[in-house]
Structure 1
Amino acid sequence: IFSDLVRLGKFETFDPIHGHTDPKAKPPVGFTQENHKLGVWNGKEFVFQENDSYWMNLISGLWRYGLDAKYVNSEADRILYKFLKVYNLLEHQTFRSVEELLQALDLYDLTKLSLEEHLFKNQMCGYNNGTYCHEIVTGLTRVNYGQSMNLNALVGLIALVGSSDDIVGVVGGNYKVLEYALWRARALVHYNSPVTKITKDTVNGVKYTVAYEDEDSNVQTSEGFDKIIIATPLEFASIEFEGFSLPEEGMQKRPYQLTHVAIIVGELNLHEYFGVSASQPQMILTTEDDRTEFSSIFLHSEYNTQGEIRKLYKIFSRERLSEVKLGEMFTNLTMQYQTEFYAYPVLDPLPAGVRFPALILDDSNVFYVNAMESAFSTIETEMISGRNIAKLVSEHIK
């Protein structure tokens, strides 16, 4: 990235679903917006449904939620405005810790209390016993993080930003952004090559050696690195460190939220399972209730197969959905695929006296991009962390 001054090496396990990408070919990156009607499901019935009429949506929304939507969205916008200052800050300075960056943005205190506590304490959820927060806000935190309003207020408010109309998604999936970054950097990438060990050598100055397994499970080494950037959660990396120790403060093992994903081709059984006769909603949020067996359902796309329009849905849940349950929720089911992954840390408020993981792991030479996701976990904040670390590296090699 720093022209000829830096030797680039990147070791990454690539998602086999997306295949190998030719680094010489420019990957297409585009953006799209979705517009489907929303429903909020409590495990028994829809407590709120959008319809085609703007005025009916406005009236029913005001009747059920009062002005709480305005108060909460204004607060989310206020926090977003603070957060967006990070781009100007990174033009002129760098940050050596997560705390330092968040304090510069005046956002650090929000990581020490829950979203529920913040919204209710500031009387943003006072109408109808806080129904808006218990239904809409909770629905958004469940779909974005699989967690309730007990997550920290900063990440909770950032999650609410995704409810505004100008949020876009990447055509083909977020991984396209990473492909494009690798293409732009002309990086040497070792696919399916997990790093097993990083060794510090101080015999002739400070140098690092990276050991990794190649695609044939043979151990290989690459020597002579001046700087190392780790961009994967250490909880799952199984990397051994030799010649230096990780800082103890803030490096406690983080619990991660297990997320189950089901991809379904079929028709949402709105009439029999959900008890509605219309063709909407096609976008379903859920409340934090023992009766709710999934976190969200979204119509991901529609496509034509031999003259027949088919619908592809994505379902998030905290536990795997049985084939029987999916058969109840969908009709004309022609394809189903389920997987699970630890998508993000459990984003509880930061306990008193506890620090976030360190951005710098060894003498301004080994850096940790994923330290940032303990505060709030988004692809954008990982990019911000990466940019900050790239600037830290640049400062030390000039």
Structure 2
Amino acid sequence: MPTMRLQTLSLRALLFLGLWHTGRRSLASAPELQEQPKKIAVVGAGIGGAATAYYLRQEFGPGVKIDVFEDGSVGGRLATVKIGDYEYETGGSVIHPLNLHMKHFVDKLGIPQRKDVPSKMAIFDGKHILFEESDWFIVNFFRMLWRYGLNFLRMQMWVETVLDKFMRIYQYQQFGYSFSTVERLLHAMGGDSFLTLMNQTLEEAMMGEGFSQVFINDIVAPITRVNYGQSVRINGFVGAVSLAGADSGLWAVDGGNKKVCSGLLYNSKSELIPARVTSISVKVRPSKRGTPVSLYEISYVDQSGAAHSLYDIVIVATPLHRGKSDITFSGFSPPIPSHYPGHYHQTVATLVHGLLNVSYLGTTEAASEFTVSDVLTTDSNGSIINSLSSLDPVHIPKGYKRPPASQANVWKVFSKKPLSQEQLENMFLSYDSVSETKWLAYPAYHPPHRKTPPFILHNRLYYLNAVEWAASAMEMSAIAARNVALLAHHHWHEQKSKIDQEDLHTRLRGEL
């Protein structure tokens, strides 16, 4: 997604980057207390499910059979569409430089990063452009200083403080620690401050830190709108994640971010089962030792019809919310709901190949002089779109240059509702291709925070997407994948000392 760019990175966070590459943990070779499971199922092959399969293989070794069920395309909400001769991202499109799991994945899989194409940003209030980025940093700095004082620099420092605490999770996971709930995971990273952010809006959090309302309306709101399609009344934690996505150094995968998912599945040596899971039930069976053991029966429908299979461990890596899945759970006490409270927010991604009408943005510049690539919008009644971006292909060919606004190009429009023909004709002087994707992309974030769904649904049944109710992002899914893989391992081998430990930040200082 298009974003603004901050200019600094945390030194402490960069030290963690070095830590991540020098000491990754693998438990598959550690002494085990009992034999490994025979079969594990993962439901969903998006970035969360694919990363889960990868980490399960690390934790349980080569002997376990891992099946991954996916009814749609591998990649889930990481998807591309072909327009003309090129493919373009329609889903999650950028990755933060401190997303250490995603960085590890591409390094491990040998997937190159996409070539960077310089971009420029503008803020649109529905009638006029409030701010247009210059090619010169010093010009941008003084423009921001004149209009917003030191708010912009203070936002960088505030986000960096949150990032420094966020980065602790990599240290904990390196040493094999896991958490049974989203709240415990957040508290381990940021203490009470992260839980406080979950219970207030981003606007309230920033006003409490002394940021001006004008700055929040003009700068912060456009960032949350482009990243989550929602206003500054989202919770403060996901708001901070959104602002971190306005950092410098954002990158993407050459050929499309979904390649990470297929690469992780291949690396995990898991079997992809193209099928729709309809139900999960618990079954009690006798074991070799004579004591009863609980197994999980997955019922599914594939091209051949209905079928079912038994597993020792199951990880659900698809949202259990209305409109996202209809998996039923039977035989569990207490009962497991098919749908948890809350709903997913709709964002419509419309890709248009056409000639932009720059006057729609309230500018008098000639199209040949309009060099803005990313237009973010304020939360005003006049804004029918969340953002408008000139798209580059997922693979940048040699000699590629982004076409100027005076030439036809592919533009991505994010909006809450599908665009009408009249709206498209207002935005574009002409167009020859329109591709529309309706995403239930992320939860609707409405603080105060209610308790998130648990990571642990039953003894050896786990729910990865609980983490989305803190913040939905590729890296958050990867963190949750590592967490549930560790939980599954520790529960199987009864290593309770590695689950829900308090004060890890202080305790682990001496181990670094």
Q: Contact 1:29–1:180 at 8 Å: present in 2 too?
A: no
- Equivalent residue in structure 1 for 2:390, among 292, 299, 306: 299
Question: Residues 397, 190 of structure 1: CA spacing in aligned structure 2 closer, same or farther, 3 A cutoff?
Answer: same
- The equivalent of 1:4 in structure 2 is 62
- The equivalent of 1:361 in structure 2 is 457
- The equivalent of 1:280 in structure 2 is 371
Query: How many Å separate the matches in 1 of 2:361 and 2:234?
Result: 31
- Equivalent residue in structure 2 for 1:330, among 420, 425, 428: 428
Q: CA deviation at 1:139?
A: 0.3
The reply to whether residue 110 of structure 1 matches residue 197 of structure 2 is: yes
- Equivalent residue in structure 1 for 2:265, among 161, 164, 182: 182
Question: Residues 102, 273 of structure 1: CA spacing in aligned structure 2 closer, same or farther, 3 A cutoff?
Answer: closer
Amino acid paired to 1:329: M
- The equivalent of 1:30 in structure 2 is 113
Q: CA deviation at 1:248?
A: 7.1
Q: Contact 1:211–1:220 at 8 Å: present in 2 too?
A: yes
Question: Residues 272, 200 of structure 1: CA spacing in aligned structure 2 closer, same or farther, 3 A cutoff?
Answer: closer
Q: Contact 1:33–1:167 at 8 Å: present in 2 too?
A: no
Q: Contact 1:211–1:221 at 8 Å: present in 2 too?
A: yes
Unmatched segments (≥5 aa) in structure 2: 1-56, 82-108, 287-292, 398-402, 494-512
- The equivalent of 1:317 in structure 2 is 415
Q: CA deviation at 1:229?
A: 0.1
Q: CA deviation at 1:11?
A: 0.2
Q: CA deviation at 1:134?
A: 0.6
- The equivalent of 2:503 in structure 1 is none
Unmatched segments (≥5 aa) in structure 1: 20-25
Query: How many Å separate the matches in 2 of 1:247 and 1:170?
Result: 41
Question: Residues 274, 247 of structure 1: CA spacing in aligned structure 2 closer, same or farther, 3 A cutoff?
Answer: farther
Question: Residues 34, 132 of structure 1: CA spacing in aligned structure 2 closer, same or farther, 3 A cutoff?
Answer: farther
Amino acid paired to 2:483: N
- The equivalent of 1:74 in structure 2 is 157
Q: Which runs of 4+ in 1 moved over 3 A?
A: 16-19, 26-29, 31-34, 245-249, 271-274
Query: How many Å separate the matches in 2 of 1:112 and 1:248?
Result: 26
Q: Any idea what SS the aligned residue of 1:160 has?
A: helix
Query: How many Å separate the matches in 2 of 1:274 and 1:179?
Result: 43
> How many equivalent residue pairs?
379
Percent identity at matched positions?
29
Q: CA deviation at 1:173?
A: 3.0
Which whole-Å deviations, capped at 9, do the CAs of 1:321-349 have from their partners, x for residues lacking one?
Answer: 11221122123412111121210001222
Matching of residues 344-355 of structure 1 within 5 Å = 344-351=442-449, 354-355=450-451
Question: Residues 54, 187 of structure 1: CA spacing in aligned structure 2 closer, same or farther, 3 A cutoff?
Answer: same
Question: Residues 272, 344 of structure 1: CA spacing in aligned structure 2 closer, same or farther, 3 A cutoff?
Answer: closer
Matching of residues 1-398 of structure 1 within 5 Å = 1=57, 2-15=60-73, 28-92=111-175, 93-106=177-190, 107-123=194-210, 125-126=211-212, 130-191=213-274, 193-204=275-286, 205-216=293-304, 218-223=305-310, 225-235=311-321, 236-245=324-333, 252-271=340-359, 273-277=361-365, 278-301=369-392, 310-351=408-449, 354-363=450-459, 365-398=460-493
Query: How many Å separate the matches in 2 of 1:61 and 1:54?
Result: 11
RMSD: 2.3
Q: CA deviation at 1:273?
A: 5.0
Q: CA deviation at 1:246?
A: 6.0
Q: TM-score, normalised by structure 1?
A: 0.89
Query: How many Å separate the matches in 2 of 1:247 and 1:369?
Result: 18
Q: CA deviation at 1:87?
A: 0.5
Q: TM-score, normalised by structure 2?
A: 0.70
- The equivalent of 1:22 in structure 2 is none
Question: Residues 120, 32 of structure 1: CA spacing in aligned structure 2 closer, same or farther, 3 A cutoff?
Answer: farther
